């Protein structure tokens, strides 16, 4: 890992240490009934520095992971190499050069190619778009992702119910109860982006058109996905994991598909700090509610504002519940579990669900239909050339037991 990333992590950690000193002094003043306005201003300034350093670290890590184009071994076979070459010519000059036929050879699945319907993006660029989107999209980076070749995809989930028993070596085996299966069909929608370039850019021999298209499309796709995977309505888009119902009942009695919420006991706020109550109790409550089988792979998901609020919390031993990243590729943690920022999580408010904790690999399924398509449009926005890019994406909650949410309400 580069020295620049290590240096940025060190700067970020120093900022958090300063944040803790200021926060400790703020808490002491609160106990004395002092005024905390100056402390709040100092904390906000440090938080701003930490946010900037985190952005720098994420940008550098994403750049380090960015797929390179055109290197040896990038193309799996001759058909894919020819398809990629022809597609590059299509991007730069708008010439198909038999792209439809080459596309059919490169892909094992059939496509409806053509100038009007667009062309399939070569596999190496499609993979780069997916890789870049994972780095940008918070939920895609932690959820289960499958690729399909049809929109009629179903996921069977075992609701359990299959009985078992102990028997002797020669004893008769009686029939046991059968398990119950839930048939989940992730809702699908067409995701699109329309990046623009000038012909002069495309004519420049040093301009990597493939890298540019992958980066632009991945960024736009990730922004749209961020909202849909969290709060999508399911109408021409994925169904977000916060779109369904929640209840305060335990796993054993709660209906399948309903997420358990843990109430803070106070509308629009954490518990109030006192000699017997700690706002961090709300965090411990969520972790305690999660079954051990799911807990080991669980991740926190929240927005930046709430994350900074949690940064100031301590447990009963006076230890901060938040720990910043300590090495490249290592996430920030809350109570030892990774935390992912997602700005599409609702802001803290009355009855808001602003903090999620769960094993998203088991809780949420993202479905990508194989094949990203591009239509080259040199006419609609002269002198710019648009690349109307589309892909079918779906999503659904598949295991409501593997996810808990904090509800900022009395009950």
Q: Count how many residues are written for the chain.
A: 411
In a domain, residue 310? The reply is no
Tokens found for residue 139: 């939920």
User: What does the alpha-carbon distance between residue 214 and residue 131 come to, in Å, rounded to a whole number?
Assistant: 10
User: What does the alpha-carbon distance between residue 26 and residue 276 come to, in Å, rounded to a whole number?
Assistant: 19
Instruction: Examine the fold and report which residue of 50, 65, 80 is the final residue of a domain before the chain moves on.
Output: 65
Give yes or no: residues 198 and 282 share one domain. yes
Give yes or no: residues 127 and 39 share one domain. no
Query: For the stretch 244-260, what's the b/e string if a residue is b when 16 or more beta carbons lie within 10 angstroms of its beta carbon?
Result: eebeeeeeeebeeeebb
Proportion of the chain above pLDDT 70, given as a percent:
88
In a domain, residue 168? The reply is no
User: What does the alpha-carbon distance between residue 155 and residue 172 come to, in Å, rounded to a whole number?
Assistant: 35
pLDDT digits (tens, 9 = 90+) for 125-171: 888 888 778 777 899 999 999 998 877 888 888 776 556 678 888 88
Whether pLDDT at 71 is above 50: no
Tokens found for residue 370: 């194989």
> CB count, 10 Å around CB of 268?
14
User: What does the alpha-carbon distance between residue 392 and residue 370 come to, in Å, rounded to a whole number?
Assistant: 8
pLDDT digits (tens, 9 = 90+) for 102-133: 676 666 544 444 444 577 888 778 888 887 78
Give yes or no: residues 25 and 139 share one domain. no
Most confident of 61-65, 155-159, 172-176: 155-159
Domain assignment of residue 8, given as a range = 3-65
Whether pLDDT at 229 is above 80: yes
User: What does the alpha-carbon distance between residue 359 and residue 339 come to, in Å, rounded to a whole number?
Assistant: 12
Residues 155, 186 contacting (CB under 8 angstroms): yes
369: which strand partners? 148
Which DSSP symbol is given to 190?
Answer: E
Phi and psi based region of residue 318 (left: phi greater than 0; alpha: psi -120 to 50; beta: remaining): left
Helix, strand, or coil (residue 182): strand
Give yes or no: residues 13 and 134 share one domain. no
Whether pLDDT at 399 is above 80: yes
Instruction: Examine the fold and report which residue of 65, 84, 107 is the final residue of a domain before the chain moves on.
Output: 65
Helix, strand, or coil (residue 218): helix
Which of 199, 69, 51 is CA-nearest to residue 132?
69
Give yes or no: residues 205 and 57 share one domain. no
Confidence of residue 65 (pLDDT cuts 50, 70, 90): low
Give yes or no: residues 49 and 129 share one domain. no
Q: Are strands 322-323 and 155-158 parallel, antiparallel or unpaired?
A: unpaired
pLDDT digits (tens, 9 = 90+) for 242-291: 999 999 999 989 999 999 999 999 999 999 888 889 999 999 999 999 99
> What is the residue whose two structure tokens read 């021409």?
236
In a domain, residue 356? The reply is yes
H/E stretch holding 12 = helix 3-32
Torsion, CA 60, CA 62, CA 68, CA 74, rounded to 10: 150
Give yes or no: residues 204 and 272 share one domain. yes
DSSP string, 224-246: HHHHHHHH-BSSSSPBPTTSS-E
> What is the residue whose two structure tokens read 């358990």?
260
Question: In this predicted structure, what is the pLDDT of residue 332?
Answer: 93
In a domain, residue 377? The reply is yes
CA 343 to chain centre: 11
Tell me the mean pLDDT in the region 13-31: 84
Total number of domains in the chain: 2
Give yes or no: residues 10 and 138 share one domain. no
In a domain, residue 52? The reply is yes
Give yes or no: residues 210 and 355 share one domain. yes
Whether pLDDT at 298 is above 60: yes
In a domain, residue 322? The reply is no
Give yes or no: residues 149 and 12 share one domain. no
Tell me the mean pLDDT in the region 32-61: 75
Can you give the pTM of this predicted structure? 0.82
Question: In this predicted structure, what is the pLDDT of residue 75?
Answer: 47
- The number of helices, as runs of H, and strands, as runs of E, in the chain is 11, 17
User: What does the alpha-carbon distance between residue 39 and residue 25 come to, in Å, rounded to a whole number?
Assistant: 8
User: What does the alpha-carbon distance between residue 26 and residue 46 come to, in Å, rounded to a whole number?
Assistant: 14
pLDDT digits (tens, 9 = 90+) for 181-206: 788 999 999 999 999 999 999 998 78
Average pLDDT of the chain to the nearest whole number: 85
Q: Are strands 246-247 and 259-263 parallel, antiparallel or unpaired?
A: parallel
Confidence of residue 74 (pLDDT cuts 50, 70, 90): very low
In a domain, residue 240? The reply is yes
H-state helical runs in 78-236: 78-93, 99-106, 123-136, 199-203, 209-231
Give yes or no: residues 249 and 182 share one domain. yes
**CATH number of the domain encompassing residue 188:** 3.30.2400.10
In a domain, residue 371? The reply is yes
Give yes or no: residues 50 and 135 share one domain. no
Which DSSP symbol is given to 118?
Answer: B
Instruction: Examine the fold and report which residue of 65, 84, 99 is the final residue of a domain before the chain moves on.
Output: 65
């Amino acid at each position: 890992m580069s020295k620049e990333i290590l240096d940025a992590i060190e700067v970020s950690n120093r900022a958090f240490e300063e944040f803790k000193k200021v926060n400790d002094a703020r808490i002491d003043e609160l106990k004395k009934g002092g005024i905390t306005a100056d402390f709040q201003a100092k904390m906000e300034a440090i938080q701003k520095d930490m946010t900037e350093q985190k952005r720098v670290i994420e940008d550098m890590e994403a750049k380090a992971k960015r797929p390179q184009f055109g290197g040896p071994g990038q193309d799996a076979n001759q058909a894919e190499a020819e398809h990629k070459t022809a597609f590059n010519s299509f991007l730069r000059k708008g010439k198909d050069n038999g792209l439809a036929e080459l596309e059919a050879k490169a892909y094992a699945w059939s496509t409806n190619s053509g100038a009007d319907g667009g062309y399939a993006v070569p596999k190496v660029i499609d993979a780069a778009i997916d890789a870049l989107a994972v780095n940008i999209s918070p939920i895609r980076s932690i959820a289960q992702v499958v690729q399909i070749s049809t929109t009629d995809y179903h996921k069977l989930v075992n609701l359990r119910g299959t009985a078992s028993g102990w028997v002797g070596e020669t004893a008769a085996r009686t029939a046991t109860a059968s398990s119950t299966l839930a048939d989940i069909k992730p809702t699908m929608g067409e995701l699109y982006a329309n990046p623009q370039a000038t012909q002069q850019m495309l004519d420049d021999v040093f301009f990597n058109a493939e890298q540019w298209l992958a980066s632009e499309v991945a960024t736009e796709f990730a922004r749209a996905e961020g909202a849909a995977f969290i709060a999508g309505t399911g109408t021409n888009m994925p169904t977000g994991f916060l779109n369904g119902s929640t209840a305060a009942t335990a796993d054993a009695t709660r209906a399948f598909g309903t997420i358990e919420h843990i109430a803070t006991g106070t509308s629009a706020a954490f518990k109030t700090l006192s000699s017997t109550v700690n706002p961090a109790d709300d965090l411990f409550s969520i972790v305690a509610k999660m079954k051990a089988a799911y807990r080991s792979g669980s991740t926190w998901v929240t927005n930046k504002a709430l994350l900074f609020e949690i940064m100031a919390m301590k447990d009963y031993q006076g230890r901060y519940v938040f720990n910043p990243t300590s090495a490249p590729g290592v996430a920030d943690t809350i109570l030892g579990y990774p935390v992912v920022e997602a700005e599409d999580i609702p802001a803290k408010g009355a009855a808001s669900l602003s903090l999620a904790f769960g094993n998203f690999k088991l809780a949420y399924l993202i479905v990508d239909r194989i094949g990203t398509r591009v239509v080259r449009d040199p006419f609609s926005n002269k002198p710019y050339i648009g690349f109307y890019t589309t892909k079918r994406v779906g999503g659904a909650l598949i295991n409501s037991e593997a996810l808990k949410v904090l509800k900022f309400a009395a009950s």
